[in-house]
């Protein structure tokens, strides 16, 4: 009985899986052309599964000898004097478990003191023994320290440059989370230039492993249906696609949560969208290792600059290394229209992670709960906003200082407040995108009547802020088919008194009623 895998590489014999080669085109052509290139993708998106499959296929075809070698264990070694010999020993160990001939001769008399050339020399000697070209797929290259990485790449470059007359590795694939541009960015701050002999100039191309398409998700779940008879309802698959955008770990994790935990492996029951919603909430709150390791990146300054701009609707330099780095981590995605969190689940966990401390603090306050704000079964948002005005006036100075993301602190604090109010009684949808100049929220309560309460958050930057916000919110309300909305405008000027900052006024635009809430 196969199952949905959420830890480590997938195996065709054990796990439901999509053929990895369909998610990355053109690799075989690059290998045939003797190229050295990079494959990068976010954590747990299927890189190692793909590499294992590619290694197996290359060896089975018989044209090449292929070796998979993970450098993950090299992360603890900083000095290249130790790092390069460790890499040679790691290659030797992987050779011994392969079907490649002459493996006993690799690095048999290696001079590890000669760390600046030992890798190049031993690979050259070994390739001279082989009757077929050698392909090496190096996984987890990100783990190498800066100096070890440079020394490693320089030796590969030396072999690359002389291989027309001296045998060397036919094709090398460097695999990790980061694109080659980020390796350069890591190293350049300490060196004005690396000169014409840059070890990076042998890299022909950088490729990325794509997420699943909606059709591939359907195919993956279809394998389970064929195996057990249990079906995924169409609206459940649609919701999973919408919430994950095809991120492989999330796609597998949601299925596993529903089947194993919610249904207790009862295959007679269909998988519904309500079960999927329950599974998503559990995964968000549980913060599995995959999500935890990803969100640990939020503490990095270069990630903060980009993510904070996305939260606030600010501008992002799409040509900056910080932007590319954050994309490569899988935290955000960019298309022709906007820059957003990579998927709605990540959006939710990013916000909840950043305002987690305040949410826990608010849980101790029994006042801010949904019953307080209900009037004839509907949320009295005006009352809710007046409460938040009071909370903001009394607590903003204290809480803003506690946030690492200080620029977006108003947005994060208000979302924590709303989450506390709605918790367990409804949902909050977030429309987060860079370049919009705002953050749109929609509280959904009483799903039977499909009540929606649109709220837009903006920072005051001048006299035009309210007018712009009214137009923006009116457009957002059109998409929700709502006639009433709330525009929250944070005035962060220190010279303005609270009496002038705190106000509520009704405005009418295009037949819609919008309450402007001054904060």
Is the model's pLDDT at 183 over the cut of 80?
no
Q: What is the pLDDT of residue 188?
A: 54
Question: What are the two backbone dihedrals, phi and then psi, of residue 345, each rounded to the nearest 5 degrees?
Answer: -65, -45
The whole-angstrom separation of Cα 307 and Cα 408 is: 10
Q: Count the Cβ atoms, other than its own, within 10 Å of residue 449.
A: 9
Check: CB of residue 503 under 8 Å from CB of residue 473: no
> Residues of 294-312 as b/e, b for ≥16 C-beta within 10 angstroms?
bbebbeeebbbbbbbbbbb
Q: Residue 370, CB half-sphere, CA atoms under 13 Å: how many?
A: 15
Check: CB of residue 374 under 8 Å from CB of residue 421: no
Best-predicted range by mean pLDDT among 249-253, 287-291, 311-315? Answer: 249-253
Residue of 188, 206, 208 whose CA lies nearest to 198: 188
Q: What is the pLDDT of residue 397?
A: 87
Q: What is the pLDDT of residue 24?
A: 86
Q: What is the pLDDT of residue 230?
A: 97
Q: What is the pLDDT of residue 181?
A: 64
Q: What is the pLDDT of residue 184?
A: 61
Q: What is the largest CA-CA distance in the chain?
A: 85
Domain 214-286 class?
mainly alpha
Confidence of residue 178 (pLDDT cuts 50, 70, 90): confident
Report H helices in 97-233.
118-129, 146-162, 180-187, 214-228
**254-302 pLDDT, tens digit each:** 999 999 999 999 999 999 999 999 999 999 988 787 888 888 889 999 9
Domain 20-208 class?
alpha beta
Q: What is the pLDDT of residue 196?
A: 41
Domain ranges of the chain: 20-208, 214-286, 350-518
Confidence of residue 191 (pLDDT cuts 50, 70, 90): very low
Dump the DSSP string for 361-415. HHHT-SSSSGGGGEETTEE-HHHHHHHHHHHHHHHHHHHHHH-SS-TTHHHHHHH
The whole-angstrom separation of Cα 434 and Cα 337 is: 10
Is the model's pLDDT at 190 over the cut of 90?
no
Please state the length of the chain.
Answer: 519
Q: What is the pLDDT of residue 182?
A: 63
Six token digits for residue 366: 């029994």
């Amino acid at each position: 009985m196969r199952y949905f895998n959420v830890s480590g590489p997938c195996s065709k014999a054990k796990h439901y899986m999509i053929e990895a080669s369909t998610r990355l085109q053109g690799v075989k052509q690059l290998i045939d052309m003797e190229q050295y290139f990079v494959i990068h993708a976010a954590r747990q998106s299927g890189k190692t599964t793909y590499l294992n499959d590619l290694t197996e296929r290359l060896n089975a075809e018989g044209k090449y000898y292929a070796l998979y070698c993970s450098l993950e264990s090299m992360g603890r070694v900083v000095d290249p004097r130790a790092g390069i010999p460790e890499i040679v020993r790691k290659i030797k160990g992987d050779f011994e478990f392969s079907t490649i001939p002459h493996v006993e001769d690799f690095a048999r008399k290696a001079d590890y003191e000669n760390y600046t050339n030992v890798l190049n020399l031993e690979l050259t000697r070994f390739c001279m023994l082989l009757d077929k070209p050698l392909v090496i797929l190096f996984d987890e290259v990100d783990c190498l320290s800066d100096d070890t990485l440079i020394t490693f790449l320089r030796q590969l470059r030396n072999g690359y440059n002389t291989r027309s007359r001296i045998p060397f590795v036919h094709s090398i694939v460097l695999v990790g989370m980061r694109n080659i541009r980020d390796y350069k960015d890591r190293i350049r701050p300490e060196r004005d230039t690396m000169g014409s002999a840059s070890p990076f100039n042998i890299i022909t191309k950088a490729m990325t492993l794509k997420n699943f398409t909606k059709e591939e998700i359907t195919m993956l779940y279809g394998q389970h249906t064929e195996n057990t008879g249990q079906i995924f309802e169409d609206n459940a698959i649609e919701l999973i696609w919408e919430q994950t955008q095809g991120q492989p770990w999330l796609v597998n994790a949601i299925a596993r949560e529903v089947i194993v935990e919610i249904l207790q492996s009862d295959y007679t029951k269909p998988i519904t969208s309500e079960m999927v919603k329950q599974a998503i909430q559990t995964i968000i709150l549980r913060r599995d290792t995959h999500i935890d390791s990803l969100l640990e990146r939020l503490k990095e300054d270069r990630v903060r600059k980009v993510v904070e701009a996305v939260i606030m609707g600010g501008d992002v330099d799409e040509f900056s290394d910080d932007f590319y780095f954050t994309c490569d981590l899988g935290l955000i995605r960019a298309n022709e229209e906007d820059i957003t969190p990579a998927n709605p689940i990540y959006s939710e966990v990013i916000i909840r992670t950043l305002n987690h401390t305040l949410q826990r603090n608010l849980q101790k306050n029994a006042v801010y709960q949904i019953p307080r704000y209900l009037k004839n079964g509907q949320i009295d948002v005006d009352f809710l906003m007046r409460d938040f005005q009071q909370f903001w006036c009394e607590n903003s100075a204290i809480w803003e200082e506690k946030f690492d993301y200080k620029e977006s602190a108003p947005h994060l604090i208000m979302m924590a407040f709303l989450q506390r109010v709605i918790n367990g009684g409804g949902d909050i949808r977030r429309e987060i995108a860079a370049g919009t100049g705002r953050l749109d929220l929609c509280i959904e309560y009483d799903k039977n009547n499909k009540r929606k309460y649109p709220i837009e958050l903006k920072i005051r930057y001048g006299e035009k802020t309210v007018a712009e916000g009214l137009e923006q919110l009116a457009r957002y309300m059109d998409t929700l088919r709502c006639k009433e909305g709330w525009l929250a405008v944070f005035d962060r000027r220190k010279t303005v008194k609270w009496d002038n900052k705190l106000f509520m006024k009704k405005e009418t635009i295009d037949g819609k009623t919008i309450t402007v809430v001054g904060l």
